[in-house]
């Protein structure tokens, strides 16, 4: 496809759309923005051995507040953008005042405008939301995409989640489907099993059987009963708002064809991307956290790269530091993003909770197995973006002892001092019982510069259980590339 590479961007989608995505270049957009649900979502990583890790990470803070940034964004939109949208935002502000919902809608408005710009005339967009803000978002969609281009309000019904006796259980999400031009849009009709009880009556069957004994199929309706990603689900990666692959499969099959470009500007743990890859579509994903970017990289690798054969199309990660200067820039921008990014460089799993402070001196870890007991061991990792000295090594050695970790690593942006290197060296070597000829330094200090130039941590790589693995999938034979 003319040297096309799929693209995974780290950053704010507004800026990325403006800077990198050409007008009228996208066939299908699916977006699942935070819902203003005032929830702070925690990621619960699953260990590969099935036990729940204690590690909780704040994936993203789903809360919007009216502040200077919201005020500026509001005035920008009113000043520059189409009159209909400006009128609507003013009306919203009169009704809502300066509250969190208003901040959320002000954030969404310029992004929807950019999405309109990048969508092809034959393209479609699906905005996924819930009843918290759906009534306001539909008005925004009308203002940007045009009332006449509205196609469907799809209700996704599921059973999971909590229950209340105070009202009816809230068990659905909403997807607004708009096309840029309904007459020339791509739309592949899909069918589903009929729920009409024809032949057998109520008790016997849910499905209608024809004279050949086949269940009959009807044109798919605008309410979809699909299970959400449950805690025991194989596709579950531990990302709190992960959507089921089946949902994305329906959308992508309906509104795109093979080779089309799919964009997900709030791509989370990459459900859209993984399904687009599976269905031989091209894709662009954007997310504002490195946690999401790292999960997606692992998801794609675990799903499509098999032992000797890669079924993964080429993709590039854009916006992550490729050199020391940009690593410094990221560290200045956000210590947490830097930490997640640095842990990603060594395939480590983050281990702390942003809001509760350091998790007893550990920022991340890598799990490995080097004996036949089935018990895992950990390389414990600390990431430092500021000045470092020998006390950092001593402190981490203390944690190492407490945790009985055979190996510890300090990833540092600044060069280590000589006393640090000496203190690390005297920690000695770890010699695994089952691999008598192997030995690994117990305390490793490695600079970001060295990691960027390809240097690796040393530990027994018998088996890795970093991120919960995604299930392997097979794809079109034509797309397979040999990697050996």
Interface contacts to ligand SAM, rule CB under 6 A: 12-13, 32-34, 60, 239, 241-243, 266, 268-269, 271, 286-289, 292
For the four alpha carbons of 383, 386, 392 and 398, in that order, the dihedral sign comes to: negative
Least distance between ligand SAM and beta carbon 240 (Å): 8
By beta carbon distance, the residue nearest ligand SAM is: 268
Q: Which is nearer to ligand SAM, 241 or 255 (CB)?
A: 241
Least distance between ligand SAM and beta carbon 237 (Å): 8
Least distance between ligand SAM and beta carbon 311 (Å): 21
Least distance between ligand SAM and beta carbon 106 (Å): 13
Integer Cα distance of 10 and 289 in angstroms: 7
Least distance between ligand SAM and beta carbon 54 (Å): 22
For residue 80, give every residue at least 6 positions away whose Cβ sits within 8 Å of its Cβ, in sequence order, or none. Answer: none
Q: Strand 119-129 relative to strand 191-193: parallel, antiparallel, unpaired?
A: unpaired
> Which residue matches tokens 């034509």?
478
Least distance between ligand SAM and beta carbon 285 (Å): 9
Please count the other Cβ atoms lying within 10 Å of the Cβ belonging to residue 449.
15
Nearest to 379 by CA among 354, 356, 410, 352: 410
> Which residue matches tokens 């710009």?
117
Q: Which is nearer to ligand SAM, 240 or 460 (CB)?
A: 240
Integer Cα distance of 462 and 238 in angstroms: 24
Least distance between ligand SAM and beta carbon 152 (Å): 19
Give the CB-side neighbour count of residue 77, counting CA atoms within 13 A: 29
**Cβ contact 170:131 at 8 Å:** yes
Least distance between ligand SAM and beta carbon 270 (Å): 6
Integer Cα distance of 201 and 197 in angstroms: 5
Length of the chain: 484
For the four alpha carbons of 49, 53, 59 and 62, in that order, the dihedral sign comes to: positive
Q: Which is nearer to ligand SAM, 237 or 411 (CB)?
A: 237
Least distance between ligand SAM and beta carbon 318 (Å): 13
Q: Which is nearer to ligand SAM, 319 or 441 (CB)?
A: 319
Q: Which is nearer to ligand SAM, 244 or 416 (CB)?
A: 244
Q: Which is nearer to ligand SAM, 126 or 443 (CB)?
A: 126
Q: Which is nearer to ligand SAM, 9 or 459 (CB)?
A: 9
Q: Which is nearer to ligand SAM, 208 or 289 (CB)?
A: 289
Collapsing DSSP states into helix, strand and coil, what is residue 83?
helix
Give the CB-side neighbour count of residue 21, counting CA atoms within 13 A: 34
β-partners of residue 430 are 440
> Which residue matches tokens 């200045």?
332
Integer Cα distance of 334 and 12 in angstroms: 13
Least distance between ligand SAM and beta carbon 376 (Å): 27
Q: Which is nearer to ligand SAM, 105 or 409 (CB)?
A: 105
Q: Which is nearer to ligand SAM, 60 or 440 (CB)?
A: 60
Collapsing DSSP states into helix, strand and coil, what is residue 8?
strand
**Cβ contact 414:442 at 8 Å:** no
**Cβ contact 55:364 at 8 Å:** no
Integer Cα distance of 294 and 228 in angstroms: 23
């Amino acid at each position: 496809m003319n040297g096309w590479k799929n693209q995974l961007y780290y950053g704010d989608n507004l800026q990325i759309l403006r800077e990198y995505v050409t007008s009228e270049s996208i066939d299908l957009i699916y977006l699942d923005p935070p819902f203003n649900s005032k929830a702070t979502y925690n990621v619960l990583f699953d260990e590969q051995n099935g036990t729940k890790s204690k590690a909780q990470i704040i994936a993203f803070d789903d809360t919007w507040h009216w502040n200077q940034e919201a005020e500026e964004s509001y005035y920008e939109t009113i000043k520059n953008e189409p009159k209909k949208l400006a009128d609507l935002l003013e009306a919203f502000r009169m009704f809502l005042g300066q509250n969190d919902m208003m901040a959320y809608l002000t954030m969404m408005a310029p992004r929807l405008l950019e999405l309109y710009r990048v969508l092809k005339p034959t393209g479609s967009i699906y905005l996924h939301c819930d009843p918290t803000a759906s009534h306001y978002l539909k008005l925004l969609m009308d203002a940007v995409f045009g009332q006449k281009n509205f196609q469907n309000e799809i209700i996704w019904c599921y059973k999971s989640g909590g229950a209340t006796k105070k009202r009816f259980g809230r068990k659905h999400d909403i997807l607004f489907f708009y096309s840029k031009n309904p007459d020339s849009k791509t739309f592949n009709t899909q069918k589903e099993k009929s729920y009409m009880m024809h032949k057998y009556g109520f008790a016997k069957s849910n499905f209608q059987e024809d004279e050949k004994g086949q269940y009959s199929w009807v044109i798919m309706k605008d309410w979809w009963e699909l299970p959400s990603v449950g805690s025991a689900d194989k596709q579950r990666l531990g990302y709190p708002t992960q959507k089921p692959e089946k949902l994305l499969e329906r959308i992508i099959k309906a509104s795109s064809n093979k080779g089309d470009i799919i964009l997900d500007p709030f791509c989370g743990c990459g459900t859209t991307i993984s399904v687009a890859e599976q269905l031989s579509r091209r894709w662009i994903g954007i997310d504002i956290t490195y946690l999401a970017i790292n999960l997606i990289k692992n998801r794609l690798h675990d799903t499509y790269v098999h032992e000797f054969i890669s079924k993964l199309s080429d993709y590039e990660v854009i916006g992550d530091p490729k050199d020391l200067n940009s690593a410094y820039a990221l560290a200045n921008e956000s210590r947490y993003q830097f930490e997640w990014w640095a842990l990603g460089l060594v395939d480590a799993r983050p281990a702390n909770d942003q809001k509760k402070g350091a998790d007893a001196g550990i920022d991340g870890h890598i799990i490995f197995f080097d004996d036949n007991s089935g018990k895992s061991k950990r390389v414990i990792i600390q990431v430092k973006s500021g000045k470092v000295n020998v006390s950092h090594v001593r402190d981490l050695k203390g944690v190492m002892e407490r945790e009985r970790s055979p190996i510890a690593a300090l990833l540092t942006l600044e060069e280590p001092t000589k006393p640090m290197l000496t203190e690390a060296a005297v920690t000695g070597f770890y010699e695994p019982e089952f691999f008598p000829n192997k030995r690994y330094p117990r305390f490793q200090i490695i600079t970001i510069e060295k990691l960027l130039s390809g240097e690796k941590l040393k530990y027994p790589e018998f088996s890795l259980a970093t991120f919960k693995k995604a299930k392997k999938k097979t794809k079109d034979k034509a797309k397979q590339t040999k990697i050996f």
